[in-house]
Chains A and B, each alone.
Chain A
Amino acid sequence: MLRIADLRVRFATRNGPVDAVRGIDLSLGNGETLGIVGESGSGKSVTAFSILRILDQGGEIVSGAVRYGGMDLRQASERDLNDIRGREISMIFQNPRAALNPIRKVGHQIEDVLRQHAQATRQDARAKAIAALEEVQIKDAAARYHAYPFELSGGMCQRIVIALALACRPRLLIADEPTTSLDVTTQKTVMDLIRTLARDRKMGVILITHDLGLAGQYCDRLVVMKDGQIVESGTPADLSRAPTHPYTRRLVAATPHPGKKLHQLVVDGTPAPIPARGEVLLSVRDVTKTYAGKSGPVDALRGVSFDLPQGGCLGLVGESGSGKSTVSSIIARLQDASGGDVLFQGQSLCDVPASRFSRDPRRPLIQMVFQDATDSLNPRQTASQAIAEPLRRLGGLRAGARRDRVHELAEQVGLPANLLTRLPHQLSGGQKARVGIARALAVSPRLLILDEPTAALDVSIQALVLNLLADLRHRLDLTYLFVSHDLSVVQMLCDTVAVMRRGQIVEFGATEQVLNTPADSYTRQLLDAVPQPIV
């Protein structure tokens, strides 16, 4: 159905031309699901964009052929392409909210597509739009027709985007990281939906993802891309059983799945020793948090209690909105609790309000690594300035000693010293994560709160960062509170797990026990959603 031959794409940038895609050959049969797996910058999205010729500014297809059916898409006129886009070949984007017009009702947006491609008339557009919503399993579609995107959850929005993409019954769907911004359970429902629709309609699907586990579960055939080239292709089973290319081997190793040990994520990894558990370091007692919402008060936390011993690592697991980030920011003293108490080394943290905690002597002892490494670094500060920032206020070091400490920290987290003068946008995602970790470690904290530190990273970088964290925990005798939505990551790093839902802990216990014999139905649901290893 689709055949790409020797595709080359070049981008004109400030530092001269960059070859994003260097000679790719791909083919896709009718009704086949093809997974393109690779890390950011590998050229997988650019390849997909080239099919519909929607490259960003400065991008140019240098050579190669893209044939769809009997048609040469590279030579096709813009008008023919407009006919094909949406009707023959459709696309789903990574961020569903950004892909929807925020001030137009979702039903109208579907109507627009239908009428654009003359699939509906003014009279029957509405009925067809509602039918399209029903097809993506939206309950009460007639009422949702009138909803605006901001009134819907992320998973709902992605379903709307899928409904939009499939409204005109295309024969090929390109899904560019369709579930990256979604929770695991939502990810599972969205991917199951795409698979069901593809089977029913005999539609070809190209799934672009960085998640080898996900691709392996849903695709018939995989290609692995690196630096604009295909390094390996085959069925998921072949690739995971006998990867031939070293990069694929690294990728397969780095993909977490239940039962895997942390050191197995990196090739030739060795397990880091686990520090001895001490006395209770942190004790959270019946903490509540109530926000003043537009329609009455909202209970973000309804009584959360747990103990964390010195040297322990507690995984706080839950989906967005479960309150796990609220708990962590209350413990980090970035906001105040509405009720309850937090004891640190036996003393209450809540007697000093969050607004004055920055001058508290205990401030250096509790530090945090943030979710989004890009957002958590000041765009105007170099890496060394960012790492030195806590030292400046809390460290009490002179300029010379501070510089030495920054270099020491950079070495600890494996950040090359020559990168210290760079600004955040000049660093890669993994390097930014390391800067964030170094900054948190700068003032020698006892308790480190890790708020999804690897959520925005590629799997192979995630593997390195997780191993680094395990190593640092042992070397510096740290206590971790690890906040995550990803159970497969938590099970490798943490010795205790707390599962949160709607502001409460629904299950708490040793990692093995919670994962192998979950007592709560919600925990089971979370476990089911984790992509299974491809064997």
Chain B
Amino acid sequence: MTGTTQSHGFASHVGHVMRQNPVTMIAFGMLGLLVFCAVFGPALVPHDPLASGARILQPPSGEHWFGTDHLGRDVFSRVIVATRLDMVISVGAVALSFVAGAILGCAAGYWGGWPDAVISRGLDMIMAFPLFVLAMGIVAALGNTVENVIYATAVINTPFYARVVRAEVNIRREAGFVQAARLAGNSDLRIVALHIFPNALPPMMVQVSLNMGWAVLNAAGLSFIGLGVRPPTPEWGIMVAEGANYIISGEWWLAVFPGLWLMFAVFTFNLLGDGLRDIVDPRQRR
């Protein structure tokens, strides 16, 4: 409870959140591993992920940790290299939907009335579609590229953010500190952006962590059915799709290892939620 400076306070606060909750510490460790793979993976993997070889469909061994696939490519190298692409898709999609959801939610929650009605009903319409089918439709309509997978994933996730933000902004619209900000000469736009919205961050962080998991699954799902990323680019969804053909004949490693790695990524993001929320919540500081 001493008068520390803001930046020092934040660093020690992050440290405190980590110590307080071992799960958060583990989750951030797992995230660190994923980020490390995404950044340095392509430079460090033992084999070229695209190079085919003579030794096809080899089970896991000391040479090929996760075995080789039907073209003799090293599954381990492909799984690790794919991390970057899948992370780019999910982080990009979540960032887009975070921004779009925040803007729409603030507008709907602060002004209410007809902007609220239009925005809320529009988002309800998106949510009324089976989301994966909607994403398929968007990718099919816009064209089969990685960017469009990102846009599609962002569109289907936006309503969740907008709803959280709308509720959080709405309950603070008439709060005392908002009135005080008005007396201090702030315009409506400044009040929403600088005073109300930051207070919606803690619940949004929980949404982000859940959403990251969904976004990874969604991207993998789209490429599983042949949309978005195309072979031979290494991507978890494609690898699971290709490996699925070989499970019956006993070559389980083709699908299982990419699947496990995908699960690891989703699990990491889901575990992050509480920790992220506590970090952006000033009330957790002492």
Contact = CB atoms under 8 A, between A and B. Distances in A.
Interface of A: 14-15, 329, 332, 334, 355, 358-359, 363-364, 367-368, 370-372, 375-380, 382, 386, 389-390, 392-394, 418-423, 425-426, 436, 439-440, 443
Contact of A375 (B4, B176, B282): B176
Contacts of A394: 184-185
Contacts of B282: 379-380, 423, 425
Nearest to B285: A423
B198 interface: yes
Contact of B179 (A370, A419, A443): A370
- Most chain-B Cβ atoms within 10 A of its Cβ — which of A372, A389, A439? A389
Given A358-B187, A380-B199, A382-B6, A425 B180 contact: no
Given A358-B186, A393-B186, A376 B6 contact: no
Contact of B185 (A358, A368, A423): A358
B4 A421 contact: yes
B160 to A, nearest CB: 23
B183 A390 contact: yes
A334 B182 contact: yes
11 contacts: A375-B175, A378-B177, A378-B199, A379-B282, A389-B186, A390-B185, A393-B186, A423-B282, A423-B285, A439-B180, A443-B184
A421 B6 contact: yes
A376 B177 contact: yes
Interface residues of B, number: 28
- Most chain-A Cβ atoms within 10 A of its Cβ — which of B6, B176, B184, B187? B184
B195 A368 contact: no
Contacts of A439: 180, 184
A334 B179 contact: yes
Contacts of B20: 14
Nearest to A445: B183
A42 B142 CA distance: 66
B3 interface: yes
Contact of B286 (A371, A390, A426, A436): A426
Interface string B260-286: 000000000000000000000011011
Contact of B198 (A332, A367, A380, A393): A380
A349 to B, nearest CB: 14
Contacts of B177: 375-379
A443 B20 CA distance: 42
Contacts, number: 90
A63 B182 CA distance: 51
A359 B187 contact: yes
A395 B181 CA distance: 14
B179 A376 contact: yes
A329 to B, nearest CB: 8
Contact of A426 (B1, B184, B187, B188): B1
Interface of B: 1, 3-6, 16, 20, 175-177, 179-188, 190, 195, 198-199, 282-283, 285-286
A45 to B, nearest CB: 21
A249 to B, nearest CB: 29
Nearest to A423: B282
Contacts of B5: 421
Contacts of A389: 180-181, 184, 186
A394 B183 CA distance: 10
Contacts of A334: 179, 182-183
Nearest to B2: A418
Contacts of B188: 355
Interchain residue pairs A-B with the least CB separation, the first 8:
A376-B176, A393-B185, A390-B184, A375-B176, A378-B177, A394-B185, A418-B3, A370-B176
A365 to B, nearest CB: 11
A439 B182 CA distance: 12
B172 to A, nearest CB: 9
A425 B286 CA distance: 8
B62 to A, nearest CB: 49
